[in-house]
Amino acid sequence: MSAATTSLTRPGRSFGGRAFRFLDRYLLVIYTLAAVLYLMLPVVVMTMFSFNHPTGKSNVVWQGFSLNAWLHPFEVSGLQKAVATSLGIAVLSTTIATSLGTLIALALARHGFRGRAVTNLFIFLPMATPEIVLGASLLTLYVAIGVPPFFPLNFLTILIAHIMFNISYVVVTVRARLAGFPTHLEEAAADLGANEWVTFWKVTFPLILPGIMAAALLAFSLSIDDFVITNFTGGTITQTFPMLIYAKTRIGVPPQVNVIGTIIFVTAVGLVALSTLVSRAQARRDQRLARRMVADEASGE
Amino acid sequence: MGTFLRRHRGLVPYLLLAPGLLWLTVFYLVPSLQMAVSSLWTGSLEKGYVFSFANWTNYTKALGRFEPQFTRSILYGGAATILTFLIAYPLAYSIAFRGGRFRNLLLFLVIAPFFTSFLLRTLSWKIILGDVGPFLGPLKDLGVIPSDFRLLATPIAVISGITYNFLPFMTLPIYVSLEKIDFRLVEAAQDLYANRFGAFRRVTFPLSLPGVFAGSLLTFIPAVGDYVNAELLGNPDTTMIGNVIQNQFLTQNNYPTASALSFLLMAGILIAVFVYARILGTEELTAGGV
């Protein structure tokens, strides 16, 4: 694409033309780099302040380099428990929402049925509702029920909320993957005598697995970072990592929190990089296999 | 089971839908209805609540009492949406058309901030915009700005926080719609003697409008309902409707007023979306979102 664009640039002979061409070629690049720096700046600051040596409770002014927070990450009371709670909720809500959402995506992409339009709208609505309204309305339901396990608010009430807001995102992600695949592979399997169960596990599922993985990754990151909905559905018994950060903002966030934030960031980036490398290797292998099959066929004839 | 399904093929999609839609019904639809009921309550958590349609005054009272916060939410949310658009469009454009082999890497860098906590990123802005922070500190030392100049606890800090936090929501949809454009259309416009700006104005930009539309909604909706930026970067004079809802629900336990406010917020957003869709003339809302 970039080659095509450059060839379209008209050669400018005058100074103005040359200046325009220079700007055209480099200005956008400079702008893009500046924008990326702007986006990453808070992440850099967060990481930097995990090495801070704050004198008081507040960790907003740089005082000096220290490894203390990294060496004793769980020195802050409640931090270890909050991180464990967040991870637990993220794993469970991702697993359940990904399963439920994938089934809906399959129905929408592979089956014609009455009520499709309504279903589409129903999936879209939770994503169009502000988080604060999602959290608040669930809270009114829990309060109206008013008995355990829904009240007082606890781990389960948070988990229910996270599954709820994750389902729509999973449906949209998996459906996008399914939409890209023609049904003829599944038809071929059926022609070769596979029943629907076998066709699903041997053909459809491997094809949409990357989509399911992407959806799970999205659901996990939405869940582990959610504050607003969790704050409404969480109460005082259970504290997640974002809830702990918020509680600490009044008295000063200790650098240990930045350590955990940095670890989460590095792990997530690492996972995405790894999955990209794996899928690239897979694509290369598929290509080689296809080429060999073509070659075998040619030599066979 | 297998034979049953083969005999009743029409049931398969409904069986696939059932568990997920049941979850959404019980934990999204029912709570929304419950909130409608709660908004017409009178009473308190301790004494119990009474429902009556006569309590529609909850709405007028809430609107009258918190009108400044409503206005502020729309202003801040609107300003942040315009700012994210101005920053995101050139960014999405250059990734789509000049990204080359770095395209995926650049896209990844756009969403990478999401891999860390929203709260921690906002707190980082508190450090960056601080009164003697890395940005204002040197300017004050040089005497460019007066030493009592502040960014924190002003609308500027709140709006820039919202702008930063929702920038990827604007960038990605615009990128997707730009990336889909058949570049031969732009070439055709240039062959027909459109200059580069003319080709952009008449071909590229109109074709990217669905992305602009989707991005604006994805930014505006959470921006209007946001209260974390106003809470962490603002002061009591910059509170938004989200702060009020949170306070009424979680501190005051005033569920009727809080429910009425949530409903008004939802209604306001739906009206804004509808008007916006009519002005822009795109029906991409459901097509782009679902």
Same domain for A7 and A101, yes or no, is no
* SS3 of chain A: CHHHHHHHCCCCCCHHHHHHHHHHHHHHHHHHHHHHHHHHHHHHHHHHHHHECCCCCCCCCCCCECCHHHHCCCCCCCHHHHHHHHHHHHHHHHHHHHHHHHHHHHHHHHCCCCCHHHHHHHHHHHHHCCHHHHHHHHHHHHHHHCCCCCCCCCHHHHHHHHHHHHHHHHHHHHHHHHHCCCCHHHHHHHHCCCCHHHHHHHHHHHHHHHHHHHHHHHHHHHHHHCCHHHHHHHCCCCCCHHHHHHHHHCCCCCHHHHHHHHHHHHHHHHHHHHHHHHHHHHHHHHHHHHHHHHHHHHHHC
Q: Which of A100-109, A282-291, B86-95, B125-134 has the lowest mean pLDDT?
A: A282-291
**What domains are there in chain B, each with its CATH number?**
67-289 (1.10.3720.10)
Q: Which residue has the higher pLDDT, B165 or A112?
A: B165
Domain assignment present for residue A301? The answer is: no
- Quote the pLDDT of residue A278: 84
Q: Which residue has the higher pLDDT, A193 or A265?
A: A265
Domain assignment present for residue A287? The answer is: no
- Is residue B92 very low, low, confident or very high in pLDDT (cuts 50, 70, 90)? very high
Counting runs of H as helices and runs of E as strands, what totals does chain B give? Answer: 16, 2
Query: How many Å lie between the alpha carbon of A293 and the closest alpha carbon of chain B?
Result: 29
Mean pLDDT across B164-174: 94
Number of independent structural domains in chain A:
2
Prediction pTM value: 0.87
How many A/B residue pairs have CB atoms within 8 Å? 249
Are B207 and B145 a contacting pair, CB within 8 Å?
A: no
Q: Which of A93-102, A128-137, A151-160, B181-190 has the lowest mean pLDDT?
A: B181-190
**Would you call A279 an interface residue with chain B, using a CB distance cutoff of 8 Å?**
no
User: Residue length, chain A?
Assistant: 301
Report the C-alpha gap between B180 and A5 in whole angstroms. 15
Cβ-count burial A284-293 (b if 16+ within 10 Å, e if not)? eeeeeeeeee
Cβ-count burial B198-231 (b if 16+ within 10 Å, e if not)? ebbeebbeebbebbbbbbbbbbbbbbbbbbbbbb
Q: Which of A19-33, A67-81, B230-244 has the lowest mean pLDDT?
A: A19-33
pLDDT at B45 over 80: no
- Quote the pLDDT of residue A2: 43
Same domain for A26 and A136, yes or no, is no
Nearest to A83 by CA among A92, A74, A70, A71: A74
Question: At B100, is the secondary structure helix, strand, or coil?
Answer: helix
Domain assignment present for residue A282? The answer is: no
Domain assignment present for residue A293? The answer is: no
Same domain for A51 and A97, yes or no, is no
pLDDT at B100 over 70: yes
B47 secondary structure, DSSP code: T
Report the C-alpha gap between A135 and A233 in whole angstroms. 6
- Is residue B79 very low, low, confident or very high in pLDDT (cuts 50, 70, 90)? very high
Residue-wise pLDDT for B101-116, tens only, equals 899 899 999 999 988 8
- Quote the pLDDT of residue A18: 74
- Is residue A169 very low, low, confident or very high in pLDDT (cuts 50, 70, 90)? very high
Are A248 and A254 a contacting pair, CB within 8 Å?
A: yes
Domain assignment present for residue A139? The answer is: yes
- Is residue B260 very low, low, confident or very high in pLDDT (cuts 50, 70, 90)? very high
Considering only residues 29 to 68 of chain A, which have any Cβ-Cβ distance to chain B shorter than 8 Å? 29, 31-32, 35-36, 38-43, 45-46, 49, 60-61
pLDDT at B243 over 50: yes
Mean pLDDT across B119-138: 90
CB atoms within 10 A of CB B67: 11
Same domain for A190 and A167, yes or no, is yes
- Quote the pLDDT of residue B281: 61
ipTM of this predicted structure:
0.87
Same domain for A90 and A193, yes or no, is yes
Domain assignment present for residue A298? The answer is: no
Residue-wise pLDDT for A50-70, tens only, equals 999 988 777 888 888 999 999
- Quote the pLDDT of residue B47: 80
Give the dihedral of Cα atoms B192, B198, B201, B205; nearest 10 deg.
50
- Quote the pLDDT of residue A112: 84
- Quote the pLDDT of residue A200: 87
Nearest to B231 by CA among B119, B115, B68: B119
Residue-wise pLDDT for A116-129, tens only, equals 889 998 998 898 89
Report the C-alpha gap between A253 and B192 in whole angstroms. 60
- Quote the pLDDT of residue B290: 33
**Domain-ending residue, one of A18, A50, A68:** A68
Domain assignment present for residue A259? The answer is: no
Strand partners for B44 = B48
- Is residue A301 very low, low, confident or very high in pLDDT (cuts 50, 70, 90)? low
Chain A CB contacts of B223 under 8 Å are none
Nearest to B173 by CA among B214, B145, B130: B214
Same domain for A239 and A113, yes or no, is yes
Same domain for A138 and A194, yes or no, is yes
Q: Which of A30-34, A83-87, B282-286 has the lowest mean pLDDT?
A: B282-286
Out of B51-65, B152-166, B261-275, the most confident range is B152-166
Chain A CB contacts of B45 under 8 Å are 143
Report the C-alpha gap between A145 and B38 in whole angstroms. 12
Same domain for A103 and A237, yes or no, is yes
Nearest to A137 by CA among B66, B270, B255: B255
Same domain for A149 and A239, yes or no, is yes
Are B256 and B40 a contacting pair, CB within 8 Å?
A: yes
Token pair, residue B273, equals 């979306």
Report the C-alpha gap between B12 and A60 in whole angstroms. 57
Report the C-alpha gap between B116 and A264 in whole angstroms. 6
Report the C-alpha gap between A268 and B113 in whole angstroms. 11
- Quote the pLDDT of residue B1: 55
**Domain-ending residue, one of A28, A47, A68:** A68
Question: At B121, is the secondary structure helix, strand, or coil?
Answer: helix
- Quote the pLDDT of residue A128: 84
**Domain-ending residue, one of A18, A39, A68:** A68
Question: At B152, is the secondary structure helix, strand, or coil?
Answer: coil
Report the C-alpha gap between B268 and B266 in whole angstroms. 5
- Domain hosting residue A52, numbered range: 2-68
Nearest to B248 by CA among A189, A215, A140: A140
Same domain for A62 and A193, yes or no, is no
Chain A CB contacts of B114 under 8 Å are 221, 225
* Residue matched to tokens 């129905």: A107
Q: Choosing among B22, B28, B136, B229, which should be mutated to test the A contact, i.e. which has the most A CBs within 10 A?
A: B28
**Would you call A120 an interface residue with chain B, using a CB distance cutoff of 8 Å?**
yes
* Residue matched to tokens 């229910």: A160
Mean pLDDT, all residues of chain A: 87
- Provide φ and ψ at A72, rounded to 5°: -130, 65
- Quote the pLDDT of residue B109: 92
- Is residue B55 very low, low, confident or very high in pLDDT (cuts 50, 70, 90)? confident
Same domain for A222 and A127, yes or no, is yes
